[in-house]
Structure 1
Amino acid sequence: MIEFTLKHKQPQAISFMSGLVTQRIVFMGTPEFAVASLDALVKAGCNIVGVVTAPDKPAGRGMQLTQSAVKQYAVEHNLKVLQPVKLKDPDFINELASLQADLQVVVAFRMLPEIVWNMPLKGTINLHGSLLPQYRGAAPINWAVINGEKETGVTTFKLQHAIDTGDIMMQESFAIGENETAGEVHDRMKLIGANLLVKTVQAIEEGTATEIPQPAQTGDLKHAPKIFTETCQINFNDTVAAVHNLVRGLAPFPAAFTTLNNKKLKVFAVTKELTAHQQVNGSYETDGKSFLKFACADGYVYVQDIQLEGKKRMDIRSFLAGYHF
């Protein structure tokens, strides 16, 4: 961990600063997580001269074109929007260059080609959801929870060739609760990260920003690769703690799963029981009314919040009231 990591003991309201109007900033992001950062920069008085986000995509039953969360915010606040399909497209590169940005800010966006991230005089900074160099990759929040970490944080850093390896500018850490889900960490992190991003942009504006190279690659670094379907399948040969962490690390999306009578069963929350048993790992017990538990290596997990294939998400009592084993 970098020595200057700040501690964040509890969620706090973002304190906005004024005067960040000189440098021209292009913001790049797509999902709702990035909206908090864009909103913080706007409210801090930053001069956002353009917003780059994903193209509109068909979604929903009617497959109607849907705008990204960042585009919706940008349109509502009369910010210029660019939606390139390919980031190396000459027309996009020319339009981006015409914005004459001094700085580019990236939050939850795609991998950028060098012609893009190296364009501004002050470079491009990224907000990453971990304490770099730990958990480089696409899903740092999920993997921190899956691995049972007690602490995580956010990092602002300068983009360079290799993903998530640029010089660190600022970091802030905060605790992960024992039963906290990835979704809950996400919701706290987006505000903590937005606040840190404003501080970083202000430091760049004032000429007081520092850059510290990340440590060289070592064998103890943990990574955060993209989550695939096979990642989400519960292995009941694992310990109760490992299953509990997997479930909360994938909740609410994409959700851990197992099977129940040959149907996919998504699991969003479990409680733990540590006890020796003679059951086959993965076998279940139920009273048909109040509990459904699965055997693990060193005890049981009681599923509390589930969704059976073809059914609605519901608590375990509601599920058992209408399910016949």
Structure 2
Amino acid sequence: MNAKEIRIVFMGTPEFAVPSLRALVEGGYNVVGVVTAPDKPAGRGQRLHESDVKIAAHELGLPVLQPEKLRAPEFIEALQAWRPDLGIVIAFRMLPEVVWAMPRLGTFNLHASLLPQYRGAAPINRAIIDGQTETGVTTFLLNHEIDKGAIIGQLREPILPDDNVGTLYDRLMRIGSGLVTETVDRIAAGDIAPIEQQHIDEASLRPAPKIFKEDCRIDWSLPGRRIVDLVRGLSPYPAAWSTLRRDDEQPIGAKIFAVRFAPGTTAEPCGTVESDARTFIRVACSDGWIAVDEIQLAGKKRLPVRELLLGFRDAALYRFE
């Protein structure tokens, strides 16, 4: 079977899916249509916002479907009209069987972890937060359970000490596009032996559930290494946060984007702030000090600490809670 003749339907929404879509089209693969999320109002003016995948699909001259409901008869009929041989899903919604089972060669998903580890919505964030030193990308066949289909291929990628979500996201997005085209080639050649995710001790797995605001709050009583990993795992988005309090004044919210840890002992309570009012802010934790490098106070711009201190000279009078 010629890989370039397979009729592919591509399903995805965010930026993470775009390099894979471009790689398929630019590589000469036969993408017959794209399915993405409906336009949504965003910003102060609530203007309709198109998904990154929709924008790329239009640039590539591909037809687009944006179903509100994936079981809607009109969507199923339109999808069938494309006569798909293979479905590819990257960062989209959970599909009903009527969709993922439609292509005669099945539907595969690209996931940003080394499955079965980090199943769920936030695999890149969670791997960094957990202090992992390696992750990767996986292609697997869709079935009835989220991220539990048979594995087709994987590529490993180190998590570097100075990585945050932004830097690791970019690398996984790039290598993922290569794995997608490789997987299509292997399917066309009949060169796959999918590995079922069965007989796994679920207690040994690390999950990657969606991240909520309270998950992002810094607990300054934790060991410094864990605080650093939390900040890295949430930077630049959605960002770790804490509150600054001075006496009985109203607390100030603060997002923190970059920190460093200096192990040691301190008699100061966790959350205590020290600063020379010119070059540094550091915060006491359970086993040393956290130096804050980039921060954004509520209603202000994100700034390096040296710039923040130009207008925030009394930082040492506050404490983080």
TM-score with structure 1 setting the length? 0.93
* RMSD (Å), alpha carbons: 0.9
2:108 counterpart of 1:119: no
Query: Alpha-carbon deviations, 1:131-188, whole Å to 9, x = none?
Result: 0000000000000000010000000000001100000000010111112101100000
Equivalents in 1 of 2:272, 2:69: separation in Å? Answer: 49
Q: Helix, strand or coil for the counterpart of 2:3?
A: coil
Equivalents in 1 of 2:142, 2:280: separation in Å? Answer: 49
**Offset of 1:260 from its aligned partner?**
1.3
1:132 alignment partner in structure 2: 115
Q: Helix, strand or coil for the counterpart of 1:166?
A: coil
Identity in percent = 50
**Offset of 1:237 from its aligned partner?**
1.0
Asked if structure 1 preserves the Cα contact closer than 8 Å seen for 2:3 and 2:189, the reply is no
Q: Helix, strand or coil for the counterpart of 1:164?
A: coil
Equivalents in 2 of 1:70, 1:22: separation in Å? Answer: 22
1:301 alignment partner in structure 2: 290
Q: Helix, strand or coil for the counterpart of 2:8?
A: strand
What does residue range 139-218 of structure 1 map to in structure 2 within 5 Å?
A: 139-218=122-201
1:231 alignment partner in structure 2: 215
1:220 alignment partner in structure 2: 204
Name the structure, 1 or 2, with higher relative contact order (CA <8 Å, separation 6+): 1
Asked if structure 1 preserves the Cα contact closer than 8 Å seen for 2:278 and 2:313, the reply is no
2:61 alignment partner in structure 1: 78
2:245 counterpart of 1:256: no
Equivalents in 2 of 1:264, 1:89: separation in Å? Answer: 44
**Offset of 1:66 from its aligned partner?**
1.4
2:319 alignment partner in structure 1: none
**Offset of 1:210 from its aligned partner?**
2.0
Equivalents in 2 of 1:117, 1:44: separation in Å? Answer: 24
Q: How many aligned residue pairs are there?
A: 307
Equivalents in 1 of 2:73, 2:272: separation in Å? Answer: 58
1:276 alignment partner in structure 2: 265
2:44 alignment partner in structure 1: 61
Query: Alpha-carbon deviations, 1:37-86, whole Å to 9, x = none?
Result: 10111111110011000111112222211111000010111101000011
Gaps of 5+ in 1: 1-18
Equivalents in 2 of 1:267, 1:90: separation in Å? Answer: 47
Q: Helix, strand or coil for the counterpart of 2:21?
A: helix
Equivalents in 2 of 1:153, 1:169: separation in Å? Answer: 14
**Offset of 1:283 from its aligned partner?**
1.6
Query: Alpha-carbon deviations, 1:261-308, whole Å to 9, x = none?
Result: 311100000011101111111121111111111111101111101100
Equivalents in 1 of 2:270, 2:200: separation in Å? Answer: 38
2:274 alignment partner in structure 1: 285
1:316 alignment partner in structure 2: 305
**Offset of 1:324 from its aligned partner?**
4.3
Runs of 4+ displaced beyond 3 Å: none
